[in-house]
Structure 1
């Protein structure tokens, strides 16, 4: 105990500015250095994991885009593959060239161009046939020895599948000396194998290589991507060393990823039979990860230096503030011994020293300060009285406005009754009951029967507004009517279905309310046949509802969700299911309570 007192006495002997310095070094500077040193030592692994995650996301995004192009081209080829009229023309024996060109102009010339115009991921479509009465030209060519000698022709007839995606080298028809790499969908036109359809017919759909290269080069900031066929040929790549134009042979994928400093990712392109063996490979050097680490660590160190600098300036300002005012106070207190009660003419501040200075000034001007205090107290009392009167007036006004509104509705109801406006009478009753319920919030929990009754009044008002455009049904067993649920937890869901789902469609909209229960949970469901939502819009809606931020949209759904969460905690389930142009279903489960 004695040692503790000695320590306190020694601390009391330390000047205030040195106390600030000690606090700064021990409580701020040293912890900042230790924390940042620990952070720097462990942050490299976190950044590496983050970068690898980014690589995987980039690889998957590229894979999906490429598969989408392939699937679209396959679908286009299937449309041509099943064109019976095309089969009839290609298998027909023409008497002379004039007869063929008449048919070509009327039915063949633009038959394939339509597909290329509609789907820009296809660069060219060609059909090869061994019908000698058809002249080569446009997009239709004879199967001659030159065609039979091509690698793609041999690959097609050696393949066992119905569809072959093949990469090969060939010359462009516009510039025969320019040799480029092609990626084509090949399939035999044998959809109608019986009867007269006995001639060889081949469909070749050339995929737009520039589109594929653009997709891969979009991710070049992350790593080099390689699209590989089952023979390990590079189909396209974002690597600067690769080009699909003016090449002498197909390039094989090498050993770039063997380097231990490289990050290597690989994924199968698709499970589809026609893409079996196709791969997407991503390779990135560890230098890119180290660069990200150094950039982040530099930023962290900069923040640490800024923290130290700002805290040093702040400590200096704080210490100077205390030191300056204490010297002023000490000087004026020494004047008291000479009978001088001069006021300290500085801005005191709101801290403890400021309080001491204010106390000193009050002591030096006893009477004047006393008068000022009494005067201020009287003003404060008058302000409080004025605020009380204003509160009473506002309360009376808040009571008067609903009363006036109900009287007005009742007056309209009487006039409508006298004049036989039967439709308006019911709606006015529903509206009056609705307003009364909204303004009278006695209980947080109500029965299902009461909530359904209120919601049905709202639906009847909506049906009055929109007539036969809105239909509704309520499918709730009587045994569930006495269960309790939070007030106003059903009507906002129905209002959302009417406003955002049904009003935007052209036909009749239907809202269906249903409920079910087991031993533990009560399930309430509201569904409509409205416009529905796409997956991204639905995901955004769910994020807005479950977010803690105060947003201006989806207020009704968010309020229902928050009130359910606040009342029941994590025992509730709140789900939204929606499909574009089909409708939306919103349902929640809460603990059973009577």
Structure 2
């Protein structure tokens, strides 16, 4: 309802524009956003599939390149001539040089295979010379991780990114233990892979692609700024550092990226390599964004033209409505001779014709109302005169209270304390009754009036009237209409005590229900009500109110229902000869929900 009210408050011109935007622009924008997201997804999926194919292709070509040094290492590990050269004890340097010249297999491998940069065998033989093929390992070399690991792997090949001692450059190198013929003499074979060959494999890749070793060293890359660095230095996430295979989303250098990783573990190797391809999402969708940008400009231009046309059409409609509004304003200033002429057979034209008929009819009614008002004013004047006379004839309440106070003081002086107390209570009761207005009073004030009322009757009935009040803590502050409980107590005295011999107990009880409603009970042990009369009484309470200003059960019941709703109506239970109980509920919030 609030939305409809808000919509009705908008001017027609803006309302038509808003309807156009709602019906045309928003669905178009929603479709554009949906299609754009789908286009982005398709492009990212195609790029992902391309990256996956590229990674697999690079993995296979890399495997072919490193298979060459792996095969050479197998051949050299079984080459008895090389083992003889490495384990032989030489008597002179001349003998060493002659032996090196006679053994040319290592040089032949380097000449035949472009993928091999260098081959060297580290042998702890003090009689040999270093010629970059056979090397004496120094203490630093023997303590290096790759050297100790190779000796511990019992002939398995390993792959490490290490510095060559000759040109001091870093290469992807195969390391492998070679057992010599003599016991306790073991060598480590190192074969450097040509980095240019590895980089040429990646040169044709469109995405950022790299080959890393098991220490996350980038041994080859198609981006010069990545080659030779460690992944820790490139600002990548933990997944790229630890995951061996698969694909995932990653943030690289602050850009949202897709990463595809393939693992490469050559045969008979204790470790391997990883091929990693990374593409930035923004680079992939840049072309799509350009197309979307151009399409958006075209759509926005069309929408602007459409909005202008809608605005112009709305102006034609609103101009006619404004003419009607001006004539209505003139009628509002009691100009009954106005006449509106709007052509057209649409709703606005029909409304203008109905407006003209309405003005004629209102003019006639105004003449009739003027005559009626003159008669009402004359009647009101007569009624005011009657009220003034009635007010003038009323007894001054101050005179009445002063008289009662004089009687009380005279009774007190003569020692008639009971009489003085009764007069005092009557004075309080009458004062409270005269001060009662149309608002609400606290329950404690109502109970105070009831207490005075009961004490006055107790003065009359003495021991035949007994009463007590059971007031639950917290209920005294509840506000109720005035003179609600006193008429019910009066009913118990008139119809309960007067029609029964002996003493009668009247109990007034308040308590909280489970729903935090205040329940008020007036219970007496009087004569009770017969079933037939009880049924008739309940029927009378349910009927429409008749005339009169009586204060009784009917008056109390009507005021409770008008104030709190039907759920607060009086509930009467009675057993003939045993007594009557009347209850009602006073809600603290909303409509009461208490039941007997």
Q: TM-score, normalised by structure 1?
A: 0.38
Rg: which structure is higher?
2
